[in-house]
A and B are shown apart, each in its own frame.
Chain A
């Protein structure tokens, strides 16, 4: 079985400050991990993914995420937040050893960047 937890429903950060959106996962084998962003009335847009290799993954719009196997975490980060980063962020996982082909998503974290 595969599952994802996003412990924070809401994250507020001031523009220019660093931001972190937390994600922890559970899989039987090794994970493929993804971050998506959803703007109002839009579908999800892919930000970045971890497959293997370097634990720090860089993605779109200046976002990055760090894979930590011992803590089973994949937190999304950005050094300097923009007001335009305000959106709903989803973490997702797929167990590469499992039979499920679909992604399992977290419940989402609403990020608000305050001007």
Chain B
């Protein structure tokens, strides 16, 4: 079956520009997560959506970062006025149900490079 997909796979932008990253979760998965993976580091949690509940935004590093999830499916992560330190791989994951022991399924990521 189809896994989590993300687009674009690579994005190069200039400092100060806005970017939008897209995530299509596995059909039927109610939970959706965004993480950031910087070179040589682990994964940093950004934001979590569960169904129609208010998202957990506690991991967003600044107010330049925002995300939305339309219709409980596709999600878009937006970074405004990009900075060089935003360069990283942005990973999306989804999982089924409410149980916190359900494994997350990851997409291939979007590699963002800010020049």
Contacts and interface: CB of A to CB of B under 8 A. Distances in A.
Contacts of A105: 35, 42-43
Given A32-B100, A32-B101, A90-B42, A44 B106 contact: yes
Q: Classify chain A's interface size.
A: 20 to 34
Contacts, number: 55
Nearest to B49: A101
Contacts of A108: 41-42
Interface residues of B, number: 23
A102 B101 contact: no
B106 A43 contact: yes
A94 B33 CA distance: 14
B4 interface: yes
Given A102-B45, A107-B41, A43 B109 contact: yes
6 contacts: A43-B4, A43-B106, A44-B93, A46-B103, A94-B100, A103-B43
